Structure 1
Amino acid sequence: MEHDRTGQPGFAAGVLGALEVRLDGVPLPLGPSRQRSVLAVLLLAADRVVPIDRLMDRVWGARAPARSRSVLRTYLSQLRQTLAPAGVTITWQDIGYRLSIGTGEVDVHRFRRLLSEARAGNDPVRAVELADEALALWRGDPLAELDTPWAEEIRERLDNERVAAAADRIDWALECGRHRELLPDLFTRTAADPLNERAAGQLILALYRDGRQADALEHFQRLRRHLIDELGTEPGAELQHLHQRILAADLGPVRATAASPVPRQLPAPPAPFVGRQEELDRLDAALAETGGMGIAAVAGPGGIGKTWLALHWAHRHLDRFPDGQLFVDLHGFSPGGDQVDPAVAVRGFLDALGVDRARLPAEPAARAALYRSLVAGKRLLVVLDNAAGAEQVVPLLPGSPSCAVLVTGRVKLASLIDRHGARHVRLDVLTEEEAYALLAERLGDLRVATEPAAGELAELCGYYPLALSITARHAATRPRVPLAEFAAELRELGMDMLDNDDPAASLPAALSWSLRAMTGAQRTVFALLGSAPGPGISLPAAAALLGLSPMRTRKALQALEDASLIDRHAGDRYAMHDLIRAYAATVDVPEPERRAASVRVLDFYLHTAHAAERLLNPHRQPIDLPSPAADVQVHPLPDDTAAMAWLTAEHPQLLAAQQAAAAAGHHRVVWQLAWTLHTFHYRRGLFRDELAVWQAALTAAEPHPAVRSLVQRLLGRAHALLGQLTEATEHLNRALELAERHHDTALLAYTHYDLAGTWELSGNDQRALEHGERALDLFRGLDQPVREAQALNGVGWSAARLGDFETARSHCQAALVLHRRHHDAQGEAATLDSLGYVEHQTGRHRQAVHHYRRALALRRELGHAYEAANTLDNCGHPYAALGEHDQAREVWWEALELYREQGRTEDFERVRRQLDGLGAWPRITATVSAAR
């Protein structure tokens, strides 16, 4: 709201920039551009008569329209109606029009009155305050909407008045002894106008009074040379007189002023404080004295420790700010919800800086200017805590490079970063070690060291500082209760245990404040993301979840990221901390909307995973999927490389999606998701995950016999791959029974094939051969050449294991022909591996190496890391038989690394013994992690 000089609400107008007219703070509608120009001319001549011809010339110049007097009368009539409620009148008097504003204010007239008062007085301190208030009225070019010659002349005249006012202000500030704070601006002014003798004299005087006599004299000599070179003249008499007085040290004392208080507004430092060394280093770098004002903006979600970090850093560096520290909590996110107006914060800063309230300027802009003047040149720290946005922060920035500003808030202050060079410091959860140290500080080293549950407590809190503090408070106030009980409560109650009637001690309350500034649609997005399966989500998956276009989804996610509720990672992926996710799940969203979102995201994962599986294993017997839900766009995958990359990135989400489908009773989705992951799991050796998805599928399997038989078969295969052969044969035999009962020839063939593999793993190659031959016969009858080729290779392998190498070779060669004819690279690699074994066992070691190398190349190309390790292992034997030990070491060493990565303990130990047996290289002492 605008105020007049008496402090009463009223009419205020501005022409020192784009025309602005307000009544009681509310903008008045001013009509078209020329009508606004008429008003601007009258305001500039307020309370004086403007002849009509002069008025028209000032508004239109030489471009007056036809019937311009009639147009002018229309404009004036409309303006009278608009301004009447403000008590502003426009009347005809003799030869022209007069605008009477009564007690209202026009900025240009106020500017002149303030300067007249400053120049008439004998108090430089008051003069500086009045000049600051006057200069703060400028908002740009005067009469910005007028383009007549008269307007150009007035603009030039007013600009000269502004320059003169700024120069007078410097003189008054020098009288007050504020020479040091003036130096940066004076250097800038003299650099922009090197021949301006007044500015040069002010700089020379400021340098002298700052104890820099040599610099002052050197600047005089530089100016003198410049004037002689450019204008052929010596400095003026006033400047030469100043020079002589400096040489004679005859400038007299500076007017004494009352010592300003040194503000010490920082709250007490947080205790205890642990860790955060990386963030402290970043603040050191951001707020280092580098010649420009350092601004650091610490951002993060509620309860992450932003204020904790800022105050710790501030107290650690008090020596860098001898002129004081200003602090304000802007209440951007707090229980009351009432944010602090920047004007109120400035008023508080002026009080802390010792400004007499009777001398406070009336206008907020003038107060801000006075604040900047008072802190200019001072080594001062300004801490702006809990900011809602840049609009709260910018008015509180000092204008001096000697100051530093530390801002905390939940939002990314984009304009502060872009326009003011602020350094963004993102705050995340504590490290595991820091979280443990925080508990030790709160609960005591002995209690934490002697109770193993301390580490579990830290993990259950997600290393989130406020959650850790709340949990530590529960434990510290109940020293006789074991930490294991608090861990159990936290597992059972989750977010409820971190709640409290005191909002300052409640994590849900702290997080809720972030939602207040959001729209309803943004809150819905936040809630739905909290229920998305998996630890993260990609942009395409989020679009499906939300039922939005990718562009709208990106904007929605950007809003949550800016609010520090989600994090963006490489590859357009987004993640949410577990505790924030738990809170999001409590945000109210209509249940039908939640269910629809769940169906969409499950359909996205299922259909995209199905497309990936078809690329990886195109010869596999397909399954039928219903069409995806509306608004679901399946992610495009151009080839099998893209399919492997997508499955790798989305694997955790796909496992979680299957669990979500099971919880929601979507049984079809459960077993179909398991089916889509089969080839990927096999290629990567993720057999425990393969077992888990098929166990879930068995629990949720549909009553259809073909589905139950499929699930039993692939569950048995998963057990076999993990060496759990008893369980494997049980499930495979059940699948066989179902297939025979329902006369499902294809399922019979697949099950016999899997039984062959299971018996081979158990060491019974004869049983393996029998099942393999039965599978081969069935596949031949089904006219499935690729499956026939797989069965041929299986029979060949079993024959080789039984020592029948001729049968083995003929079957494997026949399989190789079929695989190549039908472009089945995976089957070709498996067959080449079998042929390598056959050739090695029959003494044809060079040919064996050739087959193994070709199989290895294909498996690497397919990303089949599990089988690539086996082929490398196999390849070392013919190399060793040929006496090529370096080559044997090379492939076995690579196999060893893969076995270690895959957690294959027995294979790792066997290859290690093989390498030790070759000698020459140091014995291997590394160990492999537990098998997955």
Structure 2
Amino acid sequence: MRQFPSNEELPARQVAAAVGQQSVAAGSDITGVVQTGDGSQAFVVQPGAPRTPDCVDIRPGLNYIPMRTGLFVGRSEEMTRLDSALSKAGQTVVQAVHGLGGIGKSTLAAHWAVTREHGYYPVRWINADTVDDIEVGLAELATDLEPALAAIPSRSTQAQWAVQWLATHTGWLLILDNADNPVDIEPILARASGGRFLITSRSAAGWRDAVTVALDVLGEDEALKLFNRLATSAGPREMDGAADVCAELGYLPLAIEQSAAYLAQNPLMTPLEYLALLRDYPGAMYGAGAEGIGEERTIARIWRLTLDKIADRQPLASDLLRALAWYSTDAIPDVVPGALFAGVSEPPEVNSALGLLSAYSMVSVDRKTRTYSVHRLVQAFLRTPDNEDPHRTQQLIDRARSFATHLHLALPGTSRDAQARHTWDALIPHIDHLFGQSELRDFGEVYVLFSAGGYLIDIGESRKAIKYLERARAGCLDFLSADNPQTLTCSHNLATAYHSVGDYERAIPLYESTAESRRRVLGEQNKETLVTLTNLGCAYSESGYPEKGILLLRFVVEHGDSYRGEDAMTIRRNLCRAYQNANDLESARSLGEEALVVGVENLGPNHPGVIRTRHDLAHIYEDMDDRQAVIRVVRAVLGGAYEESDVTPDMLDSLHCIALMSLGVGGHAEAAQLLERVVASASELSDNGEEVDVEHYRQSIALDNSSNDGQRNGVD
């Protein structure tokens, strides 16, 4: 049992002395009001008010949701996820909805809170943009719960009272809207565990203990439904072009709402007329709201606020986003951002910028394909100058496009390996989008088109290469001289593209002028000169002038001492074909056999180029009706030790043709063996993702079997 002291045991009266000006000393309890200091204030709280938070119960009329949700469409999956997460019992639930500004986060949260029978009360909406905004919202909750608190002028005290009330009660739902910095709301989350939190945020980062929902744009049908409902709110009207408007806006909910409200306010305007305004005056339309909808509900305002926050934290992120705005919307390869800022920023800084942009949903990341995407309307917005927006001045936009053209630093140095081809294929759509029909501004931009054109020729896309190389050659003539080696190379490649599609009328004159310039600038026996002469000779031969082709190609063989390996074999094959086109089969046979010897000695018997040379020779033997020579070619191929994994699609076609020639001259056994190899190689290529028609090759085996059956039955 606790012992209380007797009178003798009580301590003597304490003597206190005040120290310092305007100070007060108390030797015992003070029962009145003591006031000191020049600026001091005294607040006298009447007995019984305000009550402590744990003594204040809920009452009717406490809900506060400032948004109307009658125009809500779609989002059934996201609504279900909120149902699931916020219905869990026995634990603190923090649900964070994040996404691009204007994607509909706040609308989703409000619609869920208003329409679902969730049982939470009160439901309070607090703007969480800043710490001050959060304090204001909490203070309003406090005074709604306990009106006597309005007499206390300290908003901080009121907010703390509200947090204590949340901590001592259950069953409430607090919606924290636009909480972009988790640190700002952490004190509330840590103390109030009896209710539920529904958070909307532009940022996807930092929600470690929250169940998150990432919002994407509306589906096409949902966007059109929202647009039509808003635009026709005053009655029926012409809606032709509505789907085009929604597509142009990238199905972004806020942009759909903004444009439809503008139409509703302008009853004589059609969606197609609005679309024309959007394309001709994008800057004005991004900021154009309608009567009754404040400018804070326009994409111009929403995205400016987001860009403010990004620029404050890391200016490089703003520069990077503006540069990415010049590319195609989707699948920007991960090699691009680092290349754009090489020499300007270190890789860790670029990675940090990408992380920040991803956190604010200004870029989307596809981890599987290692690519980035930027919403098309964000891109258009960032390419549109507005001198009233510090993030979109003409100077910043021009600077961003200059960074975007640093794409040449991301170009692979080759097109021969699979990884390089994959990178090239990923870059081509962005090269298309970046340059479009705009004028080339420097040789760096010319170089990108020139390099892409060369790659397209390598993969057989010569028609598309022509478009690139025509612009690249014009750019070379603008920024360099006509005799500059880069200009001459571009001219040669363009002539090659014309040649590849059979356009000899444009290929031959361009070859001729390029050959003449290379002779003059580089010398007649320079290898690049010989390359152009080789292509010109082939073009002559193929277009009906084999004698002119033979003269040039013989000159190349006689003076091509610098050629080695496959090139040495190829120049002889070219002359062989020219003789064949001239119907000089003996000379063709001699050059073909010489080319084969050179190829085998330098490359081995199983090299794809050697196989193609055997294929050419087999055709010559067939034309000469030398059946035994054709069969010798087939046997030589069958004696090769190549593996199926070494066979390329081009090589597969050569082997297939050799087998068919063997079949045609009676070499059925050899043809059957080779066709089996062809089918096995085709199957392996198909399994590895190559586009190979395996069934086409199998049908050749059936043809061979049918031919054998005919011979056994005496059919000629």
Q: Provide the TM-score with structure 1 as the length reference.
A: 0.57
Report the AA paired with residue 820 of structure 1.
L
CA 1:869/1:444 → structure 2, altered by over 3 Å: closer, same or farther?
A: farther
Partner of 2:4: none
Name the CA distance, whole Å, in 1 between partners of 2:311 and 2:450.
40
Partner of 2:530: 749
Partner of 2:612: 833
Name the CA distance, whole Å, in 2 between partners of 1:322 and 1:674.
61
Q: Which of 244, 247, 252 lines up with 1:456 in the alignment? A: 244
> For structure 2, which runs of at least 5 residues remain unmatched after alignment?
1-12, 28-32, 37-44, 623-629, 704-716
Matched-pair identity in %: 17
Q: Which of 262, 267, 273 lines up with 1:485 in the alignment? A: 273
Give the secondary-structure state (helix, strand or coil) at the position aligned to 1:816. Answer: helix
Q: Is the 8 A contact 1:849 1:878 kept in 2?
A: no
CA 1:464/1:851 → structure 2, altered by over 3 Å: closer, same or farther?
A: farther
Name the CA distance, whole Å, in 1 between partners of 2:599 and 2:310.
62
Name the CA distance, whole Å, in 1 between partners of 2:236 and 2:512.
55
CA deviation map 1:863-917 (0-9, x unaligned): xx7x47856875885798634777666666888999996xxxxx98xx9877778
Shift of 1:370: 3.2
Report the AA paired with residue 202 of structure 2.
R
Partner of 1:325: 123
Name the CA distance, whole Å, in 2 between partners of 1:312 and 1:321.
15
Shift of 1:297: 1.3
Q: Is the 8 A contact 2:362 2:374 kept in 1?
A: yes
Q: Which of 561, 564, 588 lines up with 2:358 in the alignment? A: 561
Q: Which of 552, 558, 563 lines up with 2:349 in the alignment? A: 552
Partner of 1:813: 596
Report the AA paired with residue 534 of structure 1.
Y
Partner of 1:634: none
Would you say 1:276 and 2:75 are equivalent positions?
A: yes
Name the CA distance, whole Å, in 2 between partners of 1:516 and 1:766.
69
Q: Which of 445, 452, 467 lines up with 1:692 in the alignment? A: 467
Matches within 5 A, 1:697-776: 697-701=472-476, 702-705=480-483, 706-739=485-518, 744-745=523-524, 746-755=527-536, 758=539, 766=546, 770=550, 773-774=553-554, 776=556
CA deviation map 1:500-522 (0-9, x unaligned): 26413432222111133345583
Give the secondary-structure state (helix, strand or coil) at the position aligned to 1:777. Answer: helix
> For structure 1, which runs of at least 5 residues remain unmatched after alignment?
1-46, 52-75, 94-100, 105-113, 133-172, 177-256, 333-337, 618-639, 902-906, 921-932
Shift of 1:711: 2.1
Name the CA distance, whole Å, in 1 between partners of 2:243 and 2:655.
41
RMSD over equivalenced CA pairs, Å? 5.1
Shift of 1:368: 3.5
CA 1:473/1:678 → structure 2, altered by over 3 Å: closer, same or farther?
A: same
Q: Is the 8 A contact 1:537 1:573 kept in 2?
A: yes
Name the CA distance, whole Å, in 1 between partners of 2:544 and 2:685.
26
Q: Is the 8 A contact 1:303 1:510 kept in 2?
A: yes
Partner of 1:363: 157
CA 1:679/1:858 → structure 2, altered by over 3 Å: closer, same or farther?
A: farther
CA deviation map 1:654-706 (0-9, x unaligned): 5566669x74621x334433443455434444434422321221221122324
CA 1:775/1:669 → structure 2, altered by over 3 Å: closer, same or farther?
A: farther
Report the AA paired with residue 370 of structure 1.
Q
Q: Which of 91, 96, 100 lines up with 1:292 in the alignment? A: 91
CA 1:648/1:778 → structure 2, altered by over 3 Å: closer, same or farther?
A: farther
CA deviation map 1:358-391 (0-9, x unaligned): 7999835751443224532x2x332222224224
Partner of 1:57: none
Q: Is the 8 A contact 1:713 1:731 kept in 2?
A: yes
Give the secondary-structure state (helix, strand or coil) at the position aligned to 2:197. Answer: strand
Matches within 5 A, 1:29-428: 130=52, 260-261=59-60, 263-267=62-66, 269-289=68-88, 291-317=90-116, 319-330=117-128, 332=129, 340-353=132-145, 357=149, 363-364=157-158, 366-373=160-167, 375-376=169-170, 378=171, 380-397=172-189, 403-412=195-204, 414=206, 417-418=207-208, 421-428=209-216
Q: Which of 441, 455, 468 lines up with 1:665 in the alignment? A: 441
Report the AA paired with residue 404 of structure 1.
R
Report the AA paired with residue 371 of structure 1.
W
Partner of 2:627: none
Corresponding residue pairs, total: 636
Name the CA distance, whole Å, in 2 between partners of 1:743 and 1:413.
59
Q: Is the 8 A contact 2:58 2:145 kept in 1?
A: no
Q: Provide the TM-score with structure 2 as the length reference.
A: 0.72
Shift of 1:792: 2.4
Name the CA distance, whole Å, in 2 between partners of 1:687 and 1:898.
25
Give the secondary-structure state (helix, strand or coil) at the position aligned to 1:326. Answer: strand
Shift of 1:306: 1.3
Matches within 5 A, 1:514-663: 514-519=306-311, 522-523=314-315, 525-532=317-324, 533-535=326-328, 536=332, 538=334, 541-542=337-338, 544-545=340-341, 547-570=344-367, 573-585=371-383, 586=385, 587=390, 602=405, 605-607=407-409, 609=411, 612-613=412-413, 643-654=420-431, 663=439
CA 1:521/1:413 → structure 2, altered by over 3 Å: closer, same or farther?
A: closer
Name the CA distance, whole Å, in 2 between partners of 1:899 and 1:647.
17
Shift of 1:526: 0.9
Q: Is the 8 A contact 1:892 1:915 kept in 2?
A: no
Name the CA distance, whole Å, in 2 between partners of 1:580 and 1:643.
30
Partner of 1:631: none
Give the secondary-structure state (helix, strand or coil) at the position aligned to 2:217. Answer: coil
CA deviation map 1:548-603 (0-9, x unaligned): 11122222333333333233443775443232233334345898887777666645
Name the CA distance, whole Å, in 2 between partners of 1:399 and 1:873.
76
Matches within 5 A, 1:468-507: 468-478=256-266, 481-500=269-288, 502-507=294-299
Report the AA paired with residue 275 of structure 2.
A
Name the CA distance, whole Å, in 2 between partners of 1:448 and 1:725.
56
Partner of 1:681: 456
Q: Is the 8 A contact 2:339 2:409 kept in 1?
A: no
Q: Is the 8 A contact 1:879 1:887 kept in 2?
A: no
Shift of 1:405: 1.9
Q: Is the 8 A contact 2:167 2:194 kept in 1?
A: no
Q: Is the 8 A contact 2:64 2:123 kept in 1?
A: yes
Partner of 1:200: none
Name the CA distance, whole Å, in 1 between partners of 2:25 and 2:58.
50
Name the CA distance, whole Å, in 2 between partners of 1:350 and 1:301.
32
CA deviation map 1:124-156 (0-9, x unaligned): xx99x54x6xxxxxxxxxxxxxxxxxxxxxxxx
Out of 531-540 and 553-562, give the one that drifted further: 531-540
Name the CA distance, whole Å, in 2 between partners of 1:695 and 1:890.
42
CA 1:388/1:847 → structure 2, altered by over 3 Å: closer, same or farther?
A: same
CA deviation map 1:246-281 (0-9, x unaligned): xxxxxxxxxxx9773263323455343333344334
Q: Is the 8 A contact 1:839 1:848 kept in 2?
A: no
Partner of 2:570: 790
Q: Is the 8 A contact 2:255 2:299 kept in 1?
A: yes
Report the AA paired with residue 511 of structure 1.
W
Name the CA distance, whole Å, in 2 between partners of 1:704 and 1:321.
79
Out of 518-527 and 745-754, give the one that drifted further: 518-527
CA deviation map 1:719-776 (0-9, x unaligned): 333454544344334434544565743444222333455567x675947963772473
CA 1:811/1:681 → structure 2, altered by over 3 Å: closer, same or farther?
A: farther
CA deviation map 1:432-479 (0-9, x unaligned): 44434443444579999984x444323321222222233333444455
Shift of 1:422: 0.8
Report the AA paired with residue 280 of structure 1.
M
Give the secondary-structure state (helix, strand or coil) at the position aligned to 2:341. Answer: helix
Out of 557-566 and 520-529, give the one that drifted further: 520-529
